[in-house]
Amino acid sequence: MEQFESLVSAVRSFVWEWGIPTSGPDIPLVVLALIGAGAFLTLRLGFVQIRRFGHGVAVATGRYDDPNDPGDVSHFQALTTALSATVGIGNIAGVAIAIHWGGPGALFWMWVTAALGMATKYTEVTLAQHYRSVHEGGSALAGTVSGGPMYYIERGLGPNWRWMAMFFAIALGFTAFLTGNAIQANTVADTIETSFGLSPWITGAITVTVVAAVVLGGITRIGRITGILAPLMAALYVFGALVILAMNLGHVAPSIALIFQEAFNPSAGVAGTGIGAILTTMMWGVNRGLFSNEAGQGSAPIAHAAAKTDEPVSEGVVALLEPFIDTIVIVTMTALVIIITGVNAERIPTEVTLSGGDLTWVAGDDETGYTSASAPDELRVTDGLQDTSGTHLGWHDVPVERLYVDEAMSQPFTGTVYPGRGEAVSAAGQTYTSLWGPAAESGAPLTMLAFERGLGPLGSWGHYIVIISVFLFGISTAISWSYYGDRCANYLFGEGAILP
């Protein structure tokens, strides 16, 4: 497992860290490629995301549906299947991470990424429809069409490029297992266990049963279920956010103004890395934006290829709606709730587990920012304050300002922390495996705290909206990504590879 984690870490570093050096963070080549492609297509297609937006809505809502056209699902069902994969944990946790590191201005760059990504989605889905494989008489599980980048690479570029098509199918197949299913199931299990104490084994069994019941019915059943599930989960989450915004209406305009101001003159994310560095804010916004809307990733075209149509471009205009719904609407709701409630700038009383969890070791200061560092052999703490001018004990890569031995944070810790042993020993000889302190929150817990705070005047149930959304988003993402893996297996090994 350690070797596998090392391999994944190496690949991640190559993809997201290797690039053009700057005075700030390096600009990854993959970011330049995706943003550059989006900008080129936007200009080349004459701002298709603006010109054809209304037509996309009309097609998606069924105005031009013809049940006799080749395909397995309607335009709307294809859209909701793709959105079920796209609108996932990243909409809850991803934007929180972007704001945590890059500050409120990161949202602006997520918007830019989504706007350009609309043209990319239009292009890749149109190609998937044009080069898809239609096989009448297919089984309910296999469907009657197959499409996606592996098909338009091989058929559009020619047989000499089949190796690239196979590489894509293999890579996306692994992604379906890991990002599409394993991470979703793990996030759902962790959230349910933390909130209700339910064993991950039980949550896992429920998750796999629900996903299997849908996926084994093929794309037709997937389309029917996601056609109900995607609008329902989006409506629930957006409704909760809109209630918070309505209760804080006077803060909405200043928060939007802050987003634009911080995009070009960032003060900082809570970690301090965005101080005066536009590139840092930009990179976190672009990074999380690409992860959120998946434009250029090649996954959504697989779902859209199944749409019933004989005009490929008609599904392309439907697909360009995805980044708008995913990022411009849902991600923006999350960001505004976080900014308005102010939880992104707070330190939250947290149990700091010394043997794992979100414990990190960082070096630097509030002015220059913090970077990851190796754990020291030992760390002395006096009256709760870390006795170091170098490496700091942190949580979510942000130093914990003061350490305590009790949950009430009334008794400062004095003693020595031993990272290698995962414990702290007080001056009186008492051993602790965890301490308490005011720590920066990030990811889904930050969003959960924002909803709980925002809906506080109505009761202490706001965080349940996020919990329910995490469950629904996780399940829906696993369903759609299972279909993506199914299509990859079908391309590589034939229909026999997907039969139960």
Tokens describing residue 320: 């360009």
CA–CA separation, 340 vs 452, rounded Å?
13
Nearest of 119, 48, 131 to residue 304 by alpha carbon: 131
Residue 343 contacts residue 451 (beta carbons within 8 Å): no
The per-residue pLDDT for range 248-273, each reduced to its tens digit, is 999 999 999 999 988 887 765 554 54
DSSP state of 307: B
Residue 104 contacts residue 280 (beta carbons within 8 Å): no
Mean pLDDT computed over every residue of the chain: 87
CA–CA separation, 448 vs 244, rounded Å?
13
> What pLDDT score does 214 carry?
92
> What pLDDT score does 265 carry?
78
Q: What share of the chain is helix, strand, coil (3-state, %, to 5)?
A: 60, 10, 25
If one counts every other C-beta atom within 10 angstroms of the C-beta of residue 105, the result is: 29
Q: Please, which residues have CB within 8 angstroms of residue 186's CB and are 6 or more apart in sequence?
A: none
pLDDT band at 274 (very low <50, low <70, confident <90, very high): very low
The per-residue pLDDT for range 228-254, each reduced to its tens digit, is 988 999 999 999 999 999 999 999 999
CA–CA separation, 104 vs 301, rounded Å?
31
Nearest of 256, 267, 319, 339 to residue 127 by alpha carbon: 319
The per-residue pLDDT for range 114-170, each reduced to its tens digit, is 999 999 999 999 999 999 988 876 665 667 888 999 999 999 999 999 999 999 999
The percent of residues above 70 in pLDDT, for the chain, comes to 92
The per-residue pLDDT for range 434-445, each reduced to its tens digit, is 999 998 887 778
Of 268 and 363, the structure prediction assigns the larger pLDDT to: 363
In this model, does residue 26 exceed pLDDT 60? yes
267: helix, strand or coil: coil
Of 86 and 51, the structure prediction assigns the larger pLDDT to: 51
